[in-house]
A = this chain, B = another copy of it.
Amino acid sequence: MEIELERVKPAEIETRSFEIITEELGETGLSKLIPGTEPIVKRCIHTSADFDYAKNLRFSEGVVDKALNALRNGASIVTDTQMAKAGINKRKLAQFGGQVYCFMSDEDVAEKAKAMGTTRATASMEKAAEIKEPLIFAVGNAPTALVKLYELIQEKRLAPELIIGVPVGFVNVVQSKELILSLTDTPYIVAQGRKGGSNIAACICNALLYML
C-alpha cells in the first residue's frame, strides 16, 4: 500500500484538526465570523467536515456570553435525541451543576403524542416546559420540537436560556428554524437551512462547555 499516514500523537489529533480547519477557512473565512463564535463554528466543521457551517450558523446578539453564563449558573440541557444526549460532555456539564434531559423514549411522552396526534418531540418539549430550572434546548432532529418551543415561548410558558436550533432534514426544517430566528428575546444558535443533526447539536453544547 502506498497510503501514508500522518504521524500525530493521539492527544494532538484534535489540535491538528483545528489547525487544518483554521488554515482552510483562511483569513477571508475567519474575518467573516462573528467575534466569539469561532470555537463553535470550527467545532461544527470538525464534527461534519462540512465547511457550510462557516456560512449557515446564525447567532443572536450576545448569545455566547449569555450561554456561558447560563452554563456557569448550572443550566441543564434538553435534547430531542438519545444520540445528542450521548454526545454531550455530561461530566463537564455536571461540574457546573447541569444535567442532560431527553424525554423521547419516555412512555408518557409516547402516549401523549399518540393521543394528541403530534410527534414525540412535540410532547417531549411540553414535558420539558414543566421543569422549573434554567434550560438550554439542543434540537438536532425534530423541527416539530422547534415549532413547539416557539409556541411555548409565545404563550409565555417557557423562557429558555438558549435554543440550539439545528434539526436536519427536508420537511419543515427550514421553516422551524426561521420561527426561532424571528424570536427577539430568546438567545439562539441556529443552522439556517436544511443542515444540522444530533451530532451538530451535541458539538455546539460541547463547544460552549469547552469555552468555560
Give residues in A with beta carbon < 8 Å to B: 1, 3-6, 8-10, 13, 16-17, 20-21, 46-50, 81-83, 85-87, 113, 117-119, 144, 147, 168-173, 175-176, 178-179, 182, 193-199, 202
* Distance A182 CA – B3 CA, assembled complex (angstroms): 10
* Distance A199 CA – B198 CA, assembled complex (angstroms): 7
Return A89 CB to nearest CB of chain B, in Å: 11
Q: Quick check: A17 and B169 within 8 Å, CB to CB? A: yes
Q: List 25 A-B contacts (CB under 8 A).
A: A1-B179, A1-B182, A3-B178, A3-B179, A5-B147, A6-B175, A9-B117, A10-B113, A10-B117, A10-B118, A10-B119, A10-B144, A16-B170, A17-B171, A20-B170, A47-B197, A48-B168, A49-B194, A50-B195, A83-B87, A83-B198, A87-B198, A197-B199, A198-B199, A199-B199
Return A192 CB to nearest CB of chain B, in Å: 12
* Distance A81 CA – B85 CA, assembled complex (angstroms): 12
Q: Quick check: B5 and A172 within 8 Å, CB to CB? A: yes
Q: Quick check: B13 and A171 within 8 Å, CB to CB? A: yes
- Please pick, from B10, B49, B171, the residue contacting A196 in the complex, using a CB distance under 8 A: B49
Return A153 CB to nearest CB of chain B, in Å: 12
- Max chain B C-beta neighbours (<10 A), residue from A5, A17, A147, A179: A5
Q: Which residues of B contact A3 (CB under 8 A)?
A: 175, 178-179, 182
Q: Which residues of B contact A117 (CB under 8 A)?
A: 9-10
Closest to A197 in B: B199
- Please pick, from B17, B169, B173, B202, the residue contacting A170 in the complex, using a CB distance under 8 A: B17
Q: Which residues of B contact A20 (CB under 8 A)?
A: 170-171
